[in-house]
């Protein structure tokens, strides 16, 4: 929570991110976008599910004290999705 507080300068949490926050704090490179989009398409996940995966990925990255989301964070977040 300390990392999130410092990032947002408020009590806001990753789960509360809006679209503009996702774009700013969940920046993905081309490889990660391709990976995530292929999974989203394969399992027919919604845009809402896409956003949730990004939020969980950001939290996982925060727990590792990583500045940016990495593909392993996306993979882990996707594994937490209910089947």
pLDDT tens digits for range 29-78: 999 999 999 999 999 999 999 999 999 999 999 999 999 999 999 999 99
Decide if 14 contacts 57 (C-beta within 8 A): no
pTM: 0.90
Burial of residue 18 (CB within 10 Å: 0-12, 13-18, 19+) is: exposed
Cα-based angle 3, 25, 16 (whole degrees, multiple of 5): 70
Of residues 65, 55, 2, the one with CA closest to residue 25: 55
pLDDT exceeds cutoff 70 at 83:
no
């Amino acid at each position: 929570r300390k990392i999130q507080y410092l990032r947002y300068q408020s009590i806001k949490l990753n789960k509360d991110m809006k679209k503009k926050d996702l774009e700013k704090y969940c920046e993905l490179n081309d490889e990660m976008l391709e990976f995530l989009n292929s999974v989203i398409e394969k399992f027919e996940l919604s845009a809402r599910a896409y956003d949730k995966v990004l939020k969980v990925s950001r939290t996982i990255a925060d727990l590792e004290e990583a500045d940016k989301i990495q593909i392993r964070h996306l993979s882990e977040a996707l594994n937490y999705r209910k089947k």
